[in-house]
Structure 1
């Protein structure tokens, strides 16, 4: 089962984490299933950018982004060439290293 190394994030994963996730799972689903409560304001329907992650290693093994994801990513804070929406990035067989950006465009978080 592929591993995902989550780099430290002050709010969601202060110490970082190493988790395992089955192939065919989105990065967002894997994070949520491992108690890393990444934002996903549109409930993983590819309609916002709050689940934006930067895939530091292993990104070439993920499914290709489509035009809708690419268009949405243009609005993400901290966009870079390795950016993906975690709800759309499907894990294959390769291990990943991801970074959750410090900010998102979500102005109103629930439970905060």
Structure 2
């Protein structure tokens, strides 16, 4: 079974069944990976950054690449969690700004980042 690690303050890691999407793997491990479109590859809220094991993910398809390109996320380490299938061990970083839910108390984090900026 492949080992998947989600790097995030509330991240999880563990073994999952092969051929699950990263989104499905997150659910199986009890990690809530944001996916506003329901996992239909029509937004980028489930975007992750592959840190290790990129060759252990399914090939990127046209629809996924098109959406990433439209969002200026065309570096090879960017993947959509709802589209990338786990074939082997992989480590992905979940950007906190994409992970935070709009209804959470994360709005204070944005204010803290702005402190001291002109």
Report the TM-score range of the alignment, normalised by the length of the smaller protein. 0.7 to 0.9
Distance 1:90 1:21, change over 3 A: same
Q: Which residue of the other structure, out of 52, 73, 78, is the alignment partner of 2:47?
A: 52
Gap runs ≥5 in structure 2: 105-118
Would you say 1:101 and 2:95 are equivalent positions? Answer: yes
| Equivalent residue runs for 1:19-58 within 5 Å | 19-58=14-53
Q: Could you tell me whether the CA contact under 8 Å between 1:53 and 1:100 is conserved in 2? A: yes
Could you list the runs of 5+ residues in structure 1 that have no partner in the other structure?
A: none
TM-score scaled by length of structure 2 = 0.76
TM-score norm. by structure 1 comes to 0.80
Q: Please tell me whether Structure 1 or Structure 2 has the larger radius of gyration of its CA atoms.
A: 2
Asked if the contact 1:52–1:86 (Cα under 8 Å) also holds between the matched residues in 2, the reply is yes
Q: CA RMSD in A?
A: 2.2
The alignment of Structure 1 onto Structure 2 pairs a total of residues equal to 103
